[in-house]
Structure 1
Amino acid sequence: MSVVIIADNNDGALKANLPLFLSQDYPGGFEVIVVVASDGDDTAGVIESYSKVPNFYATYVPKSSRYMSRRKLAVTLGVKAAKHEWVLLTDAACRPVTDKWIGNMSSCRHRGVDMVYGYGNYAEGTGQFKMFSRFHREYLLIREAQSGMGYGMAGCNLMFRKSMFMAGNGFQGNLKYLRGEYDFLVNKYASTGNIAVCLEPEAFIVEETPTAKGWHDRNVFYFETRRHLERSVRHRALFNSDMLSLHACFVAALCALGYSILFHNWLILLFSAIALFVPLIVRTLFARRAMDAFGLAVPWFKVVPFELRLVWHGLKYAVAYRMSDKYEFISHKS
């Protein structure tokens, strides 16, 4: 196994997390490759301290590289440098939850599988809505991957065949878009039946809490990324129909409740109360069951309010995207 880690001006995270990658318990043997996309801090110093570790290798994206995403170029350099057929890609801002991460991801390499989707969420201490929002998107994407056709990826925990990446010319066709490297990989290379999902808790990764700017950029950049993904209409239709039904149920039930109270129609009051609370209870129970499976600790009474908030959260960043300069999202500035 070749573990490729992208470092992007986050020397503190790399210093804290690199030992957890190098100390993995994987009898099959593995190497760790750090590719530095941007080095405006002490990343070079961190790398130098591991220069004598036998299964460690590091390389840098040339400063002269222009007109293409440095992060996508970093992934490409890492894959090309990999000595093994299977590449496990992640970010320096992430850490495996156990030393069995490689082993558990590797166990999902069944016959006919070229890509394995792994789960990840933010570290403890991150705001509950941010963690819920991340989980909600991951869950939808995992369901699509389980159906045999992946659409994209919210996290940084992806394993794939080097030969598949090279045969498909890597990120050819979307190198100019600065972000979305995981989304583009899954969207381009996940075909019917060749993607598996690893849901073993020991295969999870944890990502450091995003800064306010990082959170803003991730949400805004996604609106640019999804414009260039295949099967986008189908994916968005699933989310939009779910949110529409939730809001419609909520509004209709509240209107019926108001009418029944205003005109003292207690039969309508009873049925409108049932129509309001039963769907909310069912949604909460299903959500809690899913969150428990992934170890997400969000109080039950926040589930539906958070789901309602997702739409307005998305609209906020959609407006921010519409108002932004579109040259911010590509490497070709002129």
Structure 2
Amino acid sequence: MGFLDYLFYTFIVVVFFQVIYYLFILGQFAFLKQKKSTLQNLPVSVIICAKNEAENLKTFLPSIISQNYSTFEVVLINDASHDETLQVMEAFALQHSNIKIVDVKNNEAFWGNKKYALTLGIKAAKHNHLLFTDADCKPVSKHWITEMCSHFNTKKTIVLGYGAYSKIKNSFLNKLIRFETLITAIQYFSFAKIGIPYMGVGRNLAYTKTEFFNANGFMSHMKVRSGDDDLFINQASNITNTSICFSKHSFTKSNPETTFKNWFKQKRRHVSTAKYYKLSHKILLALIYLLNLLFWVLASILLVFHFNWQIVISLLLLRIIVQYFTLGFSTKKLNEEDLLILIPFLEIFLIIAQLTIFINNLISKPNHWK
């Protein structure tokens, strides 16, 4: 049996597992209907950690303050900013009695560590139920708090939400960023549904103060500069305590990077935390990426050499059709339908970008929290 024969049979196995993955793993989210949860009006502390975010606070904080919710406070954490962030916070606090400011000075032991600042903000929060977002994020509706917090109950103490990025016309980079965000969300929603929650995003995330302190907060990864969201969820979430929220009023939206250079730097920071995930999660995510990479590499090699090309094209189309079928339902749920037609091109480009980021992170450490 020749070398191309081995590649061909490997390709068949890869396609088989990918079809299973899309239909039975990502399908957990794609074919899921959002259940209407009981509205509870739980007292909530919305927590926003800001470092040099004066302009973003002026733009986006009003959308938080104006939420249609009965009892909530907004905890604004000034993380040793050197712009007018604190003054902006104080100006809003003068106008709104439900704003609490936590002014964090640089600590020699935790210099420039967002997790230290967040911990102080969480301790200062008045309520047990905490809802997190970033200073550059805007809820898409006035019912964001209501939708996210309706998924809390006696068992569910962690709620994973969707943090979208704004659309920019005629921008391939914008579509790539949104596609990567979409695929990441579909994955963490799907794995949460099958009982393997492994991450969430700080742009839209909720958990209880009790859960935070039961997990000893960020102590197990305090020295890791990034990962205040995904590393905490990776350590604290489990099959019984985690819920997902994807109703269209529950999304947040922020402005994406507009240059490849800045996006590349941002993704290097995000990817660098994955090595601290639980071993089972690292193996699972590595396997998913490897299957995606092998699918396109093996298909390309086999087609270049016209090796059983009819079968190869049939399997290629089968996998793409299954992918479109599954992701079609998911993009509709998350308001990202315009990405659907470009999925194969975006996927190939993302695979290359992720490989480049991985290699760069091996060579040098990425920069972190501002």
Quote the Cα distance in structure 2 between the aligned partners of 1:214 and 1:175.
Answer: 25
1:66 counterpart SS class: helix
Kindly report the root-mean-square deviation, in angstroms, between the aligned alpha carbons of the 2 structures: 2.4
Quote the Cα distance in structure 2 between the aligned partners of 1:142 and 1:241.
Answer: 21
TM-score between both structures, scaled by the size of structure 2: 0.79
Counterpart position of 2:194 = 147
| Aligned: 1:203 with 2:246 | no
Is the Cα–Cα contact under 8 Å of residues 13 and 93 in structure 1 kept in the other structure? yes
1:112 counterpart SS class: coil
Structure 1 segment 1-334 matched on structure 2, within 5 A:
1-27=44-70, 29-52=71-94, 53-67=96-110, 70-125=113-168, 127-210=174-257, 212=259, 214-230=262-278, 231-244=280-293, 246-247=295-296, 250-251=299-300, 254-255=303-304, 258-259=306-307, 270-325=310-365
1:295 counterpart SS class: coil
Aligned pairs, how many? Answer: 320
Where in structure 2 are there 5+ consecutive unaligned residues?
1-43
Once the two structures are overlaid, the 10-residue window that deviates more, 33-42 or 179-188, is 33-42
Q: Match for 1:291: what amino acid?
A: T
Q: Quick one: structure 1 residues 77 and 303, their matched pair in 2 at CA, closer, same or farther if it must change by over 3 Å? A: same
* 1:269 Cα deviation from its structure 2 partner: 5.6
Quote the Cα distance in structure 2 between the aligned partners of 1:164 and 1:155.
Answer: 16
Quote the Cα distance in structure 1 between the aligned partners of 2:323 and 2:283.
Answer: 22
Percent identity, aligned pairs only?
Answer: 25
Q: Quick one: structure 1 residues 187 and 102, their matched pair in 2 at CA, closer, same or farther if it must change by over 3 Å? A: same
Quote the Cα distance in structure 1 between the aligned partners of 2:338 and 2:351.
Answer: 19
Q: Match for 1:218: what amino acid?
A: Q
* 1:240 Cα deviation from its structure 2 partner: 2.3
Is the Cα–Cα contact under 8 Å of residues 134 and 202 in structure 2 kept in the other structure? no
TM-score between both structures, scaled by the size of structure 1: 0.87
Is the Cα–Cα contact under 8 Å of residues 134 and 154 in structure 1 kept in the other structure? no
* 1:61 Cα deviation from its structure 2 partner: 1.6
Structure with the bigger RCO (C-alpha within 8 Å, sep 6+) is 2
Q: Match for 1:50: what amino acid?
A: F
Quote the Cα distance in structure 1 between the aligned partners of 2:127 and 2:201.
Answer: 25
Quote the Cα distance in structure 1 between the aligned partners of 2:201 and 2:257.
Answer: 13
* 1:274 Cα deviation from its structure 2 partner: 2.6
Is the Cα–Cα contact under 8 Å of residues 284 and 304 in structure 1 kept in the other structure? no
Is the Cα–Cα contact under 8 Å of residues 138 and 155 in structure 1 kept in the other structure? no
1:203 counterpart SS class: coil
Q: Quick one: structure 1 residues 274 and 232, their matched pair in 2 at CA, closer, same or farther if it must change by over 3 Å? A: closer
